[in-house]
A and B are shown apart, each in its own frame.
Chain A
Amino acid sequence: MKRSNEPFFWLLFGAGGMVAALIGAGLVLVTGLLGPVNLIVPGRAIDYAHAHAFAAHPLGKLALFGVIALILWHSVHRMGEVLHDAAHIGAAVPLRIVALLATLALGWILLAI
């Protein structure tokens, strides 16, 4: 019986799912709903100076990389399952390649800030 390689991706899926569950809603609120319209969260919080200060700091980079990469790996695992369950398409491998490319792009972008 062939051993599955799922565990590696499942651990990433689990970590990303936990991060998204614990802070995901707050992140969407800050970056996409409250911050941009200066409601409750001041618009200053996400203006160029503040966003750059956060992303330029090594800890800020680490936090951004960790959170975004984990959400990437969590979501592609589940999207693969949806395509398998609803459309009988085995897309796990292409999706992992997409996640890898996005992770590399994220790292590149963060290092450049």
Chain B
Amino acid sequence: MSEIRIYRRPMAARWWARNPTYRRYMAREASSFLLFAYALTLIYGLWRLGQGQAAYDGWLTWLASTPALLLHLLMLIAMVVHAVTWFEVAPKTMPKTGLPERAITLGGIAAAALGSLFVVALAIWWGAWR
């Protein structure tokens, strides 16, 4: 009796580009690189802050430059992608609540919008009244 030869297909190198669900997953996961970049940006800015006014003013000048603004725009998009996809999957990480999953997602996104609005409002107050 001849030996049965099973055939193992290799996994496609770019499997994550093959359907909308995989692409959405990879976009969600890849947003983390820009979130990491933002954390490093803040750490660097704090370091300049610790070095005194002249160093920090130089940092502020760079922040207003076109490359810096473009980078932050990308990081903003990454934060939004992160927030939306975070609450899309959040219902799957919780036991059943009786609420429809869509309600949890939309509630989370609303909380995120309010949270970010609050941060901006806080900054306006900090700059205007303090």
Contact = CB atoms under 8 A, between A and B. Distances in A.
Interface in A1-60: 17-18, 20-37, 40-48, 50-55
A102 B43 contact: yes
A87 B59 CA distance: 35
Interface residues of B, number: 54
Contacts, number: 179
A7 to B, nearest CB: 13
Nearest to A16: B35
| Chain A contact patch, size range | 35 or more
A42 B40 contact: no
B29 A78 contact: yes
Contact of B32 (A45, A47, A79): A79
Interface of A: 17-18, 20-37, 40-48, 50-55, 64, 68, 71-72, 74-79, 81-82, 85-86, 102, 105-106, 109-110, 112-113
Interface of B: 16, 26, 29-33, 35-36, 38-43, 45-47, 49-50, 53, 56-57, 60, 63-64, 68-69, 71-73, 75-76, 79-80, 82-83, 86-87, 108, 111-112, 115-120, 123-124, 126-128, 130
